[in-house]
Amino acid sequence: MIRSDIIRGHLDSIILRLILEKDRYGYEISKEISTRTNNRFQIKEATLYAVFQRLEKKDLIESYFGDVSKGGKRKYYKITTLGKAYLKEVVVEWGETKEIIDLFMEGL
């Protein structure tokens, strides 16, 4: 298991990236994060919904209710135009951050 504090600062970007691929609902995002990380990182439901609230407040995502499924109506999240622009910026920033950290961490 990876230390969650290292990833915490990047949760917004990770979730935006998953929603950019397609509109998703909370449990689906949680499962996708576990699957893609080979269960090395799992997001708690409370954390996930706090991120959704934060991203919605900043107009980076929007939510809507999908069709009724077994458990009732699912709340889906979709990325906004502003969200896409923000994600592009974050990707550039991440590249630069990674380069700097690599300078100090590689070769140890």
Sequence-distant (6+) residues with CB within 8 A of 98 are none
Question: Quick one: pLDDT at residue 88?
Answer: 97
Q: What is the pLDDT of residues 63-81, one digit of tens each?
A: 999 877 777 788 999 999 9
**Residue 61 pairs with which residues in a beta bridge?**
79
Question: Does residue 3 surpass a pLDDT of 70?
Answer: no
Q: What is the pLDDT of residues 15-70, one digit of tens each?
A: 999 999 999 999 999 999 999 999 989 998 899 999 999 999 999 999 999 877 77
Domain that holds residue 56: 4-105
CATH code, domain with 32: 1.10.10.10
Distance CA 83, CA 20 (A): 9
Specify the number of domains making up the chain.
Answer: 1
